[in-house]
Amino acid sequence: MSDRYIDFANSSIGHRLVGALGLPAPTRLERWQAGRLRPVEGALLIGGGPLAKHVSTFANRLTDAIYSYGTEPSRATAWIPGHGPKLKAVVFDASDLLHTDQLKQLREFFQPLMKNLDHCAHLVILGRDPQSLSDPFAASAQRALEGFSRSLAKELRSGGTLQLIHVGEGAESQLEGPLRFFLSPKSAFVSGQVIRLNPCSTPVSDWTRPLAGRKALVTGAARGIGAAIAETLARDGADIILLDVPPARTDLDALAARLGGRSITLDICTEDAAAQLIEQLPDGLDIVVHNAGITRDKTLANMTPEYWDAVLAVNLNAPQVLTKALLDSGTLHDNGRVVLLASISGIAGNRGQTNYAASKAGLIGLAQAWAPLLQKRGISINAVAPGFIETQMTAHIPFGLREAGRRMSALGQGGLPQDVAEAVAWLVQPGTGAFTGQALRVCGQSVLGA
């Protein structure tokens, strides 16, 4: 369902009216277009501590316009506030800010930038996980970065986003993958996130087709977010197997044909679903995306056993049972990737969704619990928690709630299925073994559960 308010707010009359009435003025977000090669089309500014130098070593693969600010002279052109170009992307290394006094460097670096950001600029701050630091003052300074980055993300205008990446010891060499995602329009609807990056030994060899040669299963792929995930993984080179319930066969087959993939019609809740699936996957799999999900909303006072059971069965029990079976049978190869579609309802809770939120929180718990056990096989497992995404599922929400869901985020709008799909496509790349056991929110920095 399209968001007519964005069209109105971006029309010439609407823009003036919205401004005069002090109404939210969401920007039309820039998204990744087919054929684009560079993650950053415009000026990339790099500054801060020692990791900035490391980023400079591959920055020419991100853009051809690299600038430095507030650092020792480097090969990059010095950016001068008020004279330099508008900035499309910014990376600031704050990993060496280890005392309260040093935190002023954040203000000194970012303040001059704020009025010089381009439309839909993407900012990244690099830091260290406070829990990895034994000095309490250093840990406190690094924790301060969280409050700073989440607040600054809310102050960005014109579709800007900002994330904080905690770079683990030895994970410096993994930075190109996350920066390609977080500095580009692929992360248009991700903002205010704090993620951890660990070392990982499997690199991406071809950034234009990072999933080439990998077999990917996407459940619930006939429509909505699942269809977008299948398209995006196919774009990135994966061989796609699309799964959905038998009544969705026509749509599923049409999409599979378009993507050159294969379809499987199966209800993932049937007792022999795991056995049937394994039988249909004799060559095994590298990627599993558990996207199939349903809602049956009622307040708990009115919740029927059927509503409760159906949601827990599709959303939580089936991904648990299928993942275990795929692992135990060896169908999911070593260095595999598992992504579970959770929801910000599972983080924040939502009235009328006790069943749904329980199922989605359970998926986040599953990723956290399984990640350390699967690490020795090089398998990563993560949850993606979408906020309000424009699909048939959200089109059924009553008008008032739907509008609230759209506007209650820093970006003031709902996301598109493509936004969730881009996050999944990044998480299943070979190099993202560096990222596991985490929940990545794709919610435009929704106020829910922030």
Q: How far is the CB of 193 from ligand NAD (least distance, A)?
A: 16
Q: How far is the CB of 158 from ligand NAD (least distance, A)?
A: 24
Query: Is the CB of residue 152 less than 8 Å from the CB of residue 162?
Result: yes
Q: How far is the CB of 238 from ligand NAD (least distance, A)?
A: 19
Run of H or E including 218? strand 215-219
- How far apart CA 13 and CA 9 sit, in angstroms, is 8
Which amino acid is residue 371, in one-letter code? Answer: A
- Among 209, 223, 262, 296, interactor with ligand NAD by CB under 6 A: 223
Q: How far is the CB of 228 from ligand NAD (least distance, A)?
A: 8
Q: Rule CB under 6 A: is residue 293 a binding residue for ligand NAD?
A: yes
- Residue 71 or 263 with smaller CB distance to ligand NAD: 263
Q: Rule CB under 6 A: is residue 142 a binding residue for ligand NAD?
A: no
Region of 236 on the Ramachandran plot (φ > 0 left; ψ -120 to 50 alpha; else beta): alpha
Looking up tokens 């909505």 gives 224
Q: How far is the CB of 49 from ligand NAD (least distance, A)?
A: 36
- Residue 66 or 357 with smaller CB distance to ligand NAD: 357
Q: Rule CB under 6 A: is residue 244 a binding residue for ligand NAD?
A: yes
Q: Rule CB under 6 A: is residue 267 a binding residue for ligand NAD?
A: yes
Query: Is the CB of residue 187 less than 8 Å from the CB of residue 122?
Result: yes
- Among 94, 234, 314, 410, interactor with ligand NAD by CB under 6 A: 314
- Residue 204 or 294 with smaller CB distance to ligand NAD: 294
Q: How far is the CB of 18 from ligand NAD (least distance, A)?
A: 24
The tokens describing 73, both together, are 């002279």
Q: Rule CB under 6 A: is residue 440 a binding residue for ligand NAD?
A: no
Q: Rule CB under 6 A: is residue 393 a binding residue for ligand NAD?
A: yes
Which residues 73-132 are close enough to bind ligand NAD by CB under 6 A? none
- Residue 356 among the catalytic residues: yes
DSSP category for residue 341: E
Q: Rule CB under 6 A: is residue 382 a binding residue for ligand NAD?
A: no
- Among 69, 307, 370, 388, interactor with ligand NAD by CB under 6 A: 388
Query: Considering only CA atoms, which of 151, 149, 177, 144 is closest in space to residue 164?
Result: 149
Q: Rule CB under 6 A: is residue 303 a binding residue for ligand NAD?
A: no
Q: Rule CB under 6 A: is residue 263 a binding residue for ligand NAD?
A: no
DSSP category for residue 50: H
Q: Where are the alpha helices (DSSP H) in 318-416?
A: 318-328, 345-348, 354-374, 392-395, 399-407
Is 222 strand, coil or helix? coil
- Among 241, 389, 410, 448, interactor with ligand NAD by CB under 6 A: 389
Note every long-range contact of 168-171, with CB atoms under 8 Å and residues 24 or more positions apart, other chains counting. Answer: 168/129, 168/132, 168/196, 168/197, 168/198, 168/199, 168/434, 169/132, 169/199, 170/198, 170/199, 171/197, 171/198, 171/199, 171/200, 171/434
> Which chain residues interact with ligand NAD by CB under 6 A?
219-220, 222-226, 244-245, 248, 267-269, 291-294, 314, 341, 343, 386, 388-389, 391-394
**Which residues are catalytic, by number?**
356
